Amino acid sequence: MLTVGIIGVTGYAGSELFRILSRHPKVGELVVSSISHSGKLLSSVYPNFIGGPKVKLENSTSVVAASDVVFAALPHGEGDDIAPTCVMIGVPYIDLSADFRFGKDQETYSAWYDSEWYSDMHRKSIYGLPEMNRQKIQAAAKNFRENHEELDDENGVVIGNPGCYPTGAALAAFPALSRGVYGGGTIIVDSVSGITGGGRKPARAFHFPECYDSMTPYKVASHRHTPEISRVFSLMEGIPPSSPRPLIFTPHLAPMNRGILSTVYIPLSAEWRCGPPKPSAPRPPSDAVIEKTARIHELYRDFYRNERFVRVLPQGILPSTGRVRSSNFCDISVHIDHNGLNLIAISAIDNMVKGAAGQAVQNMNIIFGYKESTGLDALPAMF
């Protein structure tokens, strides 16, 4: 049984980690820390956890020392020195901030984030999207286990857990990008998030009366997840992230708690285009569009057939964030516009689970060689 550490457990992502790990059959003990509430019981900050495992909020040093694996759910920049410690003492480190999502690309990271850059750590970090990097994570973990005794720079396990928006966007686009469905041109990711994505700290933008019964975009053309999405799209397509395709990412807030719905517009390659013979006012989907859509649907199902957490929905059923609530699932549907020019791939995830804590636990399962769904097999509640 593992002793698992959560640093920053009182943030929303941290509290979800606790909720999930408290039922994980391979987890024996949870040690947790919080800067702001150190010394208190976790259940005094989160009374919903009364009756669960009784844990005290410690400091990060004690957590690292006691743990077989460490999750850090801190704002970017605040956990950077913990990673080297974990590597040094041979503890796998799973980071939920943006710090380890950019591989060796310091330049891009520094253009968007203002924190220090730990070259060694970043060099060995793996982007923790299991559907893309499962084998890399397994290899790093294997190497780590086999060389556990001789710790050095080469055998640490540092996972940069993906951002919430990038997870939904990447899973929607992956088959199209890697199988020649995408034909170049601007890809647009139009996403809507629930308000837990803004975190636990009260602020005007997340004040109930200002959010309720209202939709709003934010950070249009300037959100920090843009370079992360661009990078993972490039890697999925197999082109250098330094010379990526044009991309637009527009995040919005909806008056709900959990979930991200991403509608991704992907220009089709010549092979997949199925436009009408001549221009006309829009018509309901043509036979050509319907037929190609069915083929892309088939391609997506095939692509993800072994993925436990990606559900390519039957045609006619559309993703909704409600149907993945509190689960690690990512639901996907595919469509082609009436002109036959673009794929519209739509995904729904729970931003706190597949978009954060659940995916982090999935990464832990891979590292330790457990079945990937261990502790993550609860069905979505729907409401």
The least distance separating a second copy from the CB of residue 87, rounded to whole angstroms, comes to 26
Taking CB under 8 A as the criterion, the residue among 60, 226, 359, 365 binding a second copy is 226
Let me know if 208 is exposed, middle or buried by CB neighbors in 10 A (0-12, 13-18, 19+).
exposed
Taking CB under 8 A as the criterion, the residue among 10, 34, 326, 365 binding a second copy is 326
Question: Which residues does 296 contact at the CB level (< 8 Å), separation at least 6?
Answer: 176, 181, 272, 334, 336, 343
Closest CB to a second copy among 123 and 218?
218
The least distance separating a second copy from the CB of residue 181, rounded to whole angstroms, comes to 16
Residues in binding contact with a second copy, number by CB under 8 A: 113
Which own/partner contact pairs does 202-211 have at CB distance under 8 Å and 24+ positions apart?
205/253, 211/253, 211/255
Taking CB under 8 A as the criterion, the residue among 114, 150, 222, 287 binding a second copy is 222
The least distance separating a second copy from the CB of residue 164, rounded to whole angstroms, comes to 14
The least distance separating a second copy from the CB of residue 78, rounded to whole angstroms, comes to 21
**36 vs 59: CA distance, rounded Å:** 10
Instruction: Give the range of 63-71, 294-302, 325-333, 362-370 binding a second copy by CB under 8 A.
Output: 325-333
Bridging pattern class, strands 216-217 and 27-33: unpaired
Most distant CA pair in the chain: distance in Å?
Answer: 71
Closest CB to a second copy among 211 and 236?
211
Instruction: Give the range of 137-145, 150-158, 168-176, 257-265 binding a second copy by CB under 8 A.
Output: 257-265
Taking CB under 8 A as the criterion, the residue among 2, 151, 256, 288 binding a second copy is 256
Q: What are the residue numbers of the active site? A: 164
Distances (CA, A) of 338 to 210, 280, 333: 37, 11, 16
Instruction: Give the range of 92-100, 153-161, 198-206, 361-369 binding a second copy by CB under 8 A.
Output: 198-206
Contact by Cβ (8 Å): 101, 128: no
Phi and psi, residue 327, nearest 5° = -120, 170
Instruction: Give the range of 28-36, 61-69, 74-82, 305-313 binding a second copy by CB under 8 A.
Output: 305-313
Bridging pattern class, strands 342-349 and 330-336: antiparallel
Of 93-122, binders to a second copy (CB under 8 A) are 105, 107-108, 111-112
Q: Applying CB under 8 A, does 244 fall inside the site for a second copy?
A: yes
The residue behind tokens 């979930």 is 259
Of 282-301, binders to a second copy (CB under 8 A) are 282-285, 289
